[in-house]
Structure formats: structure tokens, C-alpha cells
Structure 1
Amino acid sequence: MTELRLLVQLAGEAALLLWGLHMVQSGVERAFGGRLQALLGTALGTPWRALLAGLGVTAALQSSTATALMIAGFASAGAVALVPALAAMLGANIGTAMIVQVLSFDAGWLSPLLILLGVIAFRKGRRAQSRDLGRVAIGLGLMLLALHLMVETLAPVQASPALAQVLHAMADQPLPNLVLAAVIAWAAHSSIAAVLFVATLAGGGVLLPDAAVAMVLGANLGSALNPLLQGGGRPGDRARLRLPLGNLVNRVLGCALVLAFLPEVSAWLASLVPTPLRLVATAHLAFNVATSLLALPLLRPLAWALTKLLPERPELDEAAPRYLDPAAAAMPAVAMANARREVLRIADVLERMLDASTRAFAEDARDAAKALATMDDVVDRLHRAVLAYLAGMPGDLLTESDRERIAAIQSFAIALEHAADVLSRDVARHAAKRARRGVTLAEADRRDIAALHAALREELRLAVAVFTESDAEAARRLVQAKEMLRGTESAAARRAAKAAPLPLGEPGATPGLVLDAIRDLRRVGAHLAAVAHPLLERRGELLATRLAPGRAAKEPGGGG
């Protein structure tokens, strides 16, 4: 076998290993991503709980990078402190090592069975989750097949005289081995794939124990570089680098400690584990467990140092997205959670717009109108950013349920943007007209406008509850509040009809102007109430028409 053919064959088998890993990750993400994220979010309370949660979620997702993105999302939202977040990353590192430990057993005979069962589930499964689990089975089968093929490819290489010379040279140079494995893990974006590749080389007799352990260290180091280089979060905000940098610091210190005693560590592992392939997997697990146990008591001072080194950037541009991390776009559950958090920022801005609108009818309307225009610009930019972020998610990773959730996020963002437009364009215009004409509002009109703004604030809170929790009771109250606004408008219309017109040019109350403002405020309520309709329709609690039963079927002329 020529050297070129050997390299091409190994590269193809490594690519098959990576593709199998991708299928497993995407299958688990599509089937359980949302639930795993919720589980992780509830478990990030104490360092030990966070470590166990990170371990479990990573073992399921087959990717510490995916877990890191979830944890980074919680950290950027302020939902978790840095110490538990760092502990969860330690657990994620152990989780990847456990996956390698399982895959390092000789289970090549399972490969055809897993691929067969996976294809059947993927092609014949009626439920989306069954098809996703079929994808997972196919991916595991491909990974086992790739490992088996690598061992077979490397078998003839063991007898090469040139290899013996290379092995002795590599054994005396642990640092180049470490760097090489770090580059492989960084390029593959996966410590699992890199360590399995090293294990296969060791199992094929290509690596001696010292070189194999050094490459395991490099694979751990390289996989910690990806989250740091990708960054994520707001550009220019160095605080977003605290978590990946802390994880890298733990890895670097662990690598330095093992390198100082590399011959002793390698000899100890070789005495425990009979085969070179299992030695690599055991070294990977032992390194991450030992690093976690040593680092866990030191996380608090490490978090303090990271906070001092990487302070939060002052918020310079309120309209700049905070949570739309491009690195998370390939993970639907994480990306949708990021988009939801950004939409909630839009809701916060809209609540401030309602406060400004209230002031516009009670104080200087010009200052309030300027504030409304500025905040509307913030809403517009955030709205566009959210829609662009959701549109950039890869369609092949989305399930039907994902598409429905994305549609719900888009609908709520659009409803908030429309409501903001009404406030900044129409309601502000009426308030400015009142101030320009020197109009004095009647007591009943002042009460109505104040009550409408209070009702709209409550509607906004209900709409957020429906959006975030799918709260059916909040949805019902939201629709009822919309009807209350309709009643307020009707009462204002009756007062306007009864009011005596003032002489032309005389300052005073203008019922028509107030009625226009009330009608526009009701339009804001209608946009907010729209978020409740899909939920109530699914529950069968919303009528298709407001017409009384039997009226819709009558002829237009009303003849009998």
C-alpha cells in the first residue's frame, strides 16, 4: 500500500467518523434539544449540580461544544453565574470522555445492525422523533464502521521498519505530538473525533504510550480553542469570552501538570489497561476527571480573575442584538432560545414606549414624541435582526415542530413591531396635535386614555406569558382585554357624538381627536392579542367568526 493511498484512505475514514458524529449530534438535537436545554437550565444552581448536568447533557448530545453554547446562552442572559457555568463545562468535558470510553470497546459487529435499524426507523417512522432516533442509530453505526476500517487500514503499517524509527522519534517529542493533536481537534471541531482517531492510531501500533497520551492532551486543548475563537454574543464585548477562556485555562493547567510527569503517567496507564486503544480512552477520561476534581475548588477565584480581566462592555447601542449568537445558529434549540430572549428585549422597549405615550397626553408631547421615535427605531432594528437570525438557521436541521416554534417567534416579533409603529406614528401624532392646539382633555377622556395605557401594559405582560409559557389562562384574559378595549372605544364614540362642537379656532377639548387616539391605542391591543389566537384555536376555544349563530348564513338582503 503506497503512502499516498494510505493517507487518502485514512482521511476518508476520518471523514466518515466525523459525518457519523454529526448525524448523532443532529439527531439528538432534533429529538431532545429543547428538553435537554430546559434540563440544563434548571440544574445550574450549584457547582456540583452544574457539573453533573453538563456531563449528562453532553453524553446525550455527543458534543461539549453544543453544551457550551447552551451554557453561554444562559450566562449571557444573566440566568447563571460564572462559577456554575464553569463547573458545567467541566462536566461537559467528562461527558465527551465517557462517550469515547464507550466507543473504544470492540463493537464493530454492531455497526451493520445499527445502520439497518436506523434506516428502517428513518424511512418508516411515522413520528418525527422516531426518524430522529433513526438518524442517531445510523450515525453510531457509521462511527463504529469508520473506527473498524481505520484499524484494518493501519494493520499492515505495524510491520514497517521506517515506522519503528518514527515511533522512537515521536516518543521523545511530546510537545509536537500535543500540538499536532490540538490542530486536529481544532480543525474537526470535536475532541471525540480527535481522540478516537488517536486511539485508532495507538491501536494500530502507530503510537507508543507516551506519544498517545501527549496527543490526548492536545486533543483536549484543541477542542477548547473553538469556543474561544468563535466567541459569540455581542461583538466587542469581552465578557462573552469568560466562559471559554476559563475552560481553556483549566485545560492548559491540566496539560502542563501531566506533561511534567508524562513518562510516569503513561507507565501507570499502561499497567492498568491491556490494549493501546483502551489506554487512549482511559487517559482521556482520567485527564478530564482529575482536571475537574482539581479545578472545582478553584472555580471561585478563577471566576473572580476572569471578571476582572474581562469586564462587561458598557451598553453603547441599545438597538444592537445581545443574544443572537451566530455560532449557535446550527443548533435549533439554542438558536431559538437566543431569538426568544431578543424578542423579550423588544417587549421591554415596547413597555417603555407605552410609558412615553402616557406622558405624551399628560406632559410635553414633543419630548415624548421624540422618545417614542427613538425607541421605535430600536424596535425596528431588533425586529429585523431577529428575523434575519431565524432565516439563517439551516433548514435541514429543522423539524416540523421547530418550524412551528420559529413561526411563533416571528409572529410575536412582528406583532410587537406593528404595535410600536402605531405608538410612534399615530398615537404620538394625536398627542402632538393636542399640544399644538392647546387642547384640554375632559376628565372622562383623561381617565379613558390613562385606563387604556394601563390595560395595554397588562396586555403586554399577558402576551409575554403566552409567548414564553403557552399559558392558556393568559391567552383567554388577553382576548377578554381586547374586548374591553372595544367597549372603551364605543363609550368614547358615544361621548364624541353627543359633544357640542366648539367655535372654529377656539382651544378646548376635541372629542374627535381623543377618539382617534383611543382607536389607535385599541389597534395596539389588537396586535398584542394576536399572539393568543393560535393557542386558543388549537384548544378549540376561539370562534371562527364574531357573527351570532345563524346570521352568517342569511342572505344579504335579509329576505325570507
Structure 2
Amino acid sequence: MLTLLHLLSSIALLVWGTHIVRTGIMRVYGSHLRRLLGHSMANSPLAFAAGIGVTALVQSSNATALLAISFVSQGLMTLPTALAIMLGADVGTALMSRILTFDLSWLSPLCTLVGVCLFLSRKQTRAGQLGRVLIGLGLIILALQLIVVTAEPITEARGMRVLFSSLAGDTLLAAVVGALFAVLSYSSLAAVLLTATLAGAGLISLPVALGVVIGANIGSGVLAWLNATPQLVPARRVALGNLLYKLAGLLVLPLLPILVEWMATLGFSVQTQVIAFHLAYNSLRCVLLLPTVGLMARLCERLLPERLVDNGIAQPRHLDPTALDTPTLALANAVRETLRIGDLVEAMLAHLREALHEDRPEPGEEIRRLDDDVDALYSGVKLYLARMPREDLAEQESQRWAEIIELAINLEQAGDIIEHMLGKVHNLKTSKRRSFSDRGLDELSQLHALLSANLSLGLSVFLSGDTHSARQLLQQKRQFRKLERELAHAHVHRLHQQVKESIETSATHLELIADMKRLNSLFCSAGYAALEGHASGKGRVPTEPTLDVNAAEHQLPGKPA
């Protein structure tokens, strides 16, 4: 019983080591890996190579699947490209399994020692996260050694031999066992390494080991499908195509007896044969299937057709939950969604201008609908940021986190203010049957135009952190305050001249000016944040490459750069 407990704990250590390496690499190089995948959209062979490279670094095809699924769900990558990346990820996993089975016993204590020193001395820095990766590598190598040592007495137990010998005649059952272990351990790499180690110790036969390896590949596909299930249809198509490609590997099962006989003539150790089979199996399967990514994409689109469900409320597009383990990526997603809120508020301002000049009900209805969208997106951003543990964020990331939540709150408040302004205008025009004087309406339009310009520039400053634009924004804020005071005085002067329309609309006119003053303060807050970050020398979290897509969308004609 104690021996079995030692084996299970060694397996747990192996799984934990692969998890530490994956999360550490994603935290340090997550944005670079996503850039690498993003640049591989030109053709399938390039995407295939990118999948190999990324998976070799993070030691998890499941992590690569999450990145590819995230790209497709956000509309930044086509389905055939994502499927090519997933085929490359399978080869990357096989390459890492081969590397980790070399005699690296000397490397485990070295990686652990250096990793602990780096992590404890510089936790929140890039060097500290690299130390975390080294710790994970040390644990993986140590776990493999422990599994070999622990498995030796188990191989001598007659009951265990009978248990595993029951799999010898059924390779399909062995594949099912491999798939289950990959799902439970959340890593096909861990399943393959364990299988090779147990086969080398004589606990399981070579045919069973090969069946388990095939099943472990299928298990990683099941994992990707389970992770994509709650996401949009495009994301589920990637996971479905990946799973179908892995299920195609079951066609090899009838050929295993012939393959085992041929491998026995090569003279290599059983462990080496298992790892070599894993590498050859994945490489050959993926290379043969690579030309079919277009056909597989069409099949997945047919099996999972798009079903448009419109409940009238906007839904977040960029808040990918799989990016939460990588702060840089998660913050970039939150920035993109916050800019969407800014675009909605800008549209509300445009409809408010229509409501000021026209008596149609449509602008008011559109403002109310847009305010519901703003509230929904704000709630999504708020909850998304709340899921990020701030104690794990670096100083720059924590500062950016605060900037995002502050702007999101300001934009949500701005939406409420615009809706209240609409109510005041609607009450004046419909209930009281009154209208602004021509001069008063022109003054409100002047303030409205400057307010819209400040909102656009404020969003640009928030995105870029440019100090020159931030100073320009604060200068325009002072210009707005000066104009607001001048127009208030002009209104009082019209009251002195007994202008009838001005007297009838005085209260509403001054309230709208005060509301615009509040809106202007909310829109210009990004300027202070940019200048404070520059003055403190902390700078800005590096811009995520996916932001470039949003920036291109956001820089509409007439918007300040």
C-alpha cells in the first residue's frame, strides 16, 4: 500500500511539474507566443511549425489549444490555420517527451536550486517567473526518476501483473485507459512519460504501452473539447476538428501487433521504443493530415453551424477566460472590451445630439438600448478583472489593471449621465412643450462637439499612454471649462434681455451644461493616469499584439491618433 502511495505521489509530482512549467512560460512569454501564433496565419505549414515551437516551450498541447481557440473565438484566426497549429502541437508534445527521457538526472537538482533562488529573490519579475519554470523542469525530471524507482517493487507483485496483463489482448481498452489518464492528469505529456517509464520497468507490455500512448493523444483532444464547450461556436469548431484528427489515430490499432514485431527486431529498450513510437506516430499522422485542414474546417462548420442568438443586449467579445493565467494577455483583452464600451458611449453622444435638434423618438430609444449594452459590457469587464489575483501581478500590470477598471467605471457612469440628460431633454420637449432658443441650442452643440472630441482623444490616450496626447487632452479639458463658463454667462445675459425661450428652458439648459462638465471630467481622467505613470517611471505594460487589430478598428476617420 505504501509503495502504491509513493507511485501516485510521484505521478502527482509529474503532473504538478508540467503545470508549473506551462503557467510559468505563459506568464513570461504568453504575449510573445500569441504573437508567434498570430504571425503564422499566412499558410498552413507556417502555422504547423508555430504549433510545434509553442508546444515545445509550454510542454502542453492543451495550452496551445487554448491559445488557438482564443484567436478563433475573437475572429483573429481562420479555422484551417488553427487546425494546422493543433497538428503541430501534437508533434511538439512528442518532441518534448523524447527530450525528457534522456538521462538528465544531473539537471534536476541544478534546475531546482537555481529556480528556487530566482523565484524567492525576485518573485514578481520576469527572472522570478523563469525561476518558476526551472523549478517545474526540476520536478518533472525528479518525478520520472521516482516513478522508475517506485515501479520496481510493483512489477514484482503478482496481482499488479495480472491486472495489467488483462489489457494485453485489448489495445482498444488500453487506448481508453490512456485517454482517461490524460484527462485526469490534464496532460498528455505526463501520460506518455509515465507510460514509457512503466513500460521500461516491465510493468506493462509494449503493445499495451502503444495503445495507451494513442489513447493519451485522444485524451488531450477531449480536454480541449471540454475547455471549449462553454465558448462560442467558432471555438468549439477548433476543438472538434482537433478531436476528430486524434480519433483518426485509432486506425493504427489493428496494425499494432505487426508494428510490435518489427520494433522488437530493432534492439532498443522498451522505454525508447515507446517514446520513438509516440514521436513517429504523431509526426506521420500530422504531416499526412496537414493538407486536409480545409476539408476538416468545412466538416466542422457543417457539424457545428452558427446559431445567432440575439437577446438585444451586447455580449463581451474579448474577455477570454483562458487568458487569465497570463496577466499580459488578460489585461489586453480587458483593454479591448473597455474600448468597445467607449465606442458605445460615443454612439450615445451622437444620438444625444440628434435628440437635442430633433423631436423624433428614435434617438432616445437608441440611447436607452446602448446604455443597456454599456452596463452589460461594464459588468463583464468588472467581473473579468476581479478574477485576476492582484497579488500575482507585477507592478506595471497592477497599475494597468487599475487604469482599466477606472476607465470602465467612468464610461459606465457617463452612459448613465447621458441617459439622464436624454430624460431632461425629452421632458422639456414633450411634457412642457418647450424648445431651446437658437442661440442656446448652438451653445449646447458647441459643448457637445468638444465633449465628443475629448472622449475620442481620451480613449486614444488610454490605449497608447502617449504623454503628448495626454497633455493635449488636459489642455482641451481646460478649454472646455473655459467655454462652459463663457456659455453659462451668455445664457444669464439672455435671461437679462428677457429672451422668452431662454427663460422657459433655463433650468434644463444649465443642468445640461453641468452634466456635460461632469462627462468631460470622466473622459479626461485617462490623461492624468498616463502622466502619473510616466512621472513615476513605471511605464506601461507592453502592448499586446492583438491590440493592434482593435486600434485599427478604433482609429476611425476624424478621430485623433
Under a length normalisation based on structure 2, what TM-score does the superposition of the two structures give? 0.87
Query: Per-residue deviation at 1:27?
Result: 1.9
Task: State the alpha-carbon separation in 1 of the partners of residues 455 and 285 from structure 2.
Answer: 48
In structure 2, relative to structure 1, the CA distance for the partners of 1:212 and 1:380 (3 Å cut) is same
Give the aligned partner of residue 302 of structure 2.
308
- 1:30 and 1:397 in contact (8 A); partners too: no
Return closer, same or farther for 1:33/1:516 CA change in 2, 3 Å cut-off.
same
Shift, 1:325, TM fit:
4.3
218 and 130 in structure 1: CA distance in 2 versus 1, 3 angstrom threshold: same
Q: Report the equivalent of 1:481.
A: 476
Match of 1:110 among 102, 107, 111: 107
2:506 matched to 1:519?
no
Please give the residue correspondences for 1:247-258 in structure 2 after superposition, counting only pairs within 5 Å: 247-253=242-248, 255-258=249-252
Please say if 1:493 is aligned against 2:485: no
Question: How do 1:19-38 residues align onto structure 2 when only pairs under 5 Å count?
Answer: 19-38=16-35
Partner in structure 2 of residue 175 of structure 1 = 172
Q: 1:336 aligns with which of 325, 331, 335?
A: 331
Task: Determine the C-alpha separation between the residues in 2 that align with 1:508 and 1:313.
Answer: 55
CA distance in 2, matches of 1:53, 1:208: 35
Say whether residues 1:532 and 2:558 are aligned partners. Answer: no
SS of residue paired to 1:106: coil
Structure 1 residue 467 corresponds to structure 2 residue 462:
yes
SS at match of 1:205: coil
The aligned residue for residue 554 of structure 2 is none
Is residue 119 from structure 1 mapped to residue 116 from structure 2 by the alignment?
yes
Match 2:412 to one of 417, 442, 456:
417
On the 8 A contact 1:239/1:313 being kept in 2, the answer is no
Paired residue for 1:95, among 75, 92, 101? 92
> What is the Cα deviation at residue 424 of structure 1?
1.1
- 1:174-253 superposed matches below 5 A: 174-231=171-228, 234=231, 237-253=232-248
Equivalent residue for 1:371? 366
What's the counterpart of residue 402 of structure 1?
A: 397
Q: In 1, Cα distance between the equivalents of 2:264 and 2:496?
A: 99
**How big is the shift at 1:419?**
1.3
Is 1:259 the counterpart of 2:253? The answer is: yes
Question: 2:553 maps to what in 1?
Answer: none
- Rate the CA distance shift 1:325–1:539 in 2: closer, same or farther, 3 A: closer
CA distance in 1, matches of 2:463, 2:256: 52
Distance 1:283 1:354, change over 3 A: farther
Q: Which amino acid aligns with 2:45?
A: W
What is the identity, as a one-letter code, of the residue corresponding to 1:289? S
Rounded Cα–Cα distance in structure 1 between residues aligned with 2:19 and 2:41:
26
Mean alpha-carbon deviation: is it higher for 488-497 or for 354-363? 488-497
Mapped pair 1:277 → 2:274: no
Would you say the 8 A contact 1:233–1:325 is kept in 2? no
Q: How many residues align?
A: 536
TM-score, structure 1 as length reference: 0.87
Residue 487 of structure 2 aligns with an amino acid whose one-letter code is: A
Please state how far the C-alpha of 1:473 moved relative to its aligned partner.
Answer: 4.4
Structure 1 residue 208: deviation in Å? Answer: 2.3
- Report what 2:73 is aligned to: 76
User: Does structure 2 conserve the Cα–Cα contact (< 8 Å) formed by 1:434 and 1:513?
Assistant: no
Alignment CA distance shift 1:487-1:430 (3 Å):
farther
Structure 1 pair 420/297, CA: closer, same or farther in 2 (3 Å)? same
Q: Which letter maps to 1:260? A: P
Give the 3-state SS of the residue equivalent to 1:206 in structure 2.
coil
Q: CA deviation at 1:159?
A: 4.9
What is the CA–CA distance in structure 2 between the aligned matches of 1:145 and 1:133, rounded to whole Å? 18
Q: Distance in 2 between matches of 1:232 and 1:518?
A: 49
* Maintained 8 Å contact 1:258/1:265: no
Contact 1:45/1:80 (<8 A) preserved: no
Deviation at 1:108, TM superposition (A): 1.6
Give the match for residue 291 of structure 1. 285
Kindly indicate whether the alpha-carbon contact (under 8 Å) linking 2:428 and 2:505 is maintained by their aligned counterparts in 1.
Answer: no
Q: CA deviation at 1:355?
A: 2.2
Query: Does 2:354 align with 1:359?
Result: yes
| 1:326 CA displacement | 4.2
Aligned-partner residue type, residue 287 of structure 1: Y
- Letter of the structure 1 residue corresponding to residue 379 of structure 2: R
Q: CA deviation at 1:58?
A: 2.3
Partner of 1:389: 384
Residues 51 and 475 of structure 1: is their aligned pair in 2 closer, same or farther, counting only changes over 3 Å? farther
The worse-fitting range, judged by mean Cα deviation, of 332-341 and 525-534 is 332-341
**Alpha carbons of structure 1 residues 507 and 478: separation in structure 2 relative to 1, 3 Å:** closer
Does structure 2 retain, via aligned residues, the 8 Å contact 1:68–1:89?
A: yes
Counterpart AA for 1:221:
I
Q: Measure how far apart 1:271 and its partner are.
A: 5.3
CA contact (8 A) 1:346 1:383 kept: yes
Aligned to 1:128: 125
- Residue 429 of structure 1 deviates from its aligned partner by 1.9
Aligned equivalents of 1:396 and 1:460: distance in 2? 32
Measure how far apart 1:122 and its partner are: 1.7
Check the 8 A contact 2:494/2:502 in 1, yes or no.
Answer: no
Say if 1:100 and 1:281, in contact at 8 Å, map to a contact too. Answer: yes
Amino acid across the alignment from 1:258? V
- Distance in 1 (CA, whole Å) between partners of 2:253 and 2:217 is 13
Contact 1:427–1:517 at 8 Å: present in 2 too?
A: no
Cα 1:281–1:479 change in 2 (3 A) is farther
Q: Deviations over 1:160-213 (max 9, x none)?
A: 566666665433210111000100001111111111111111121222222111
Assess, with a 3 A threshold, how the Cα gap between structure 1 residues 453 and 507 changes in structure 2: closer, same or farther.
closer
Mapped to 2, the partners of 1:74 and 1:467 lie a distance apart of 24
- The one-letter code matched in structure 2 to 1:372 is I
Q: Who is 1:545 aligned against?
A: none
Give the letter aligned to residue 189 of structure 1: Y
Opposite residue 480 of structure 1, the aligned amino acid is: Q
State the SS of the aligned residue for 1:45.
coil
Once the two structures are aligned, what percentage of the paired residues are identical?
36
5+ long unaligned stretches in structure 1: 543-560
Structural RMSD (CA): 2.9
Counterparts of 1:232 and 1:502, CA distance in 2: 69
CA contact (8 A) 1:29 1:333 kept: no
- Which amino acid letter does the alignment assign opposite residue 231 of structure 1? A
Q: Deviations over 1:15-52 (max 9, x none)?
A: 11112122212222222223332333333333222222
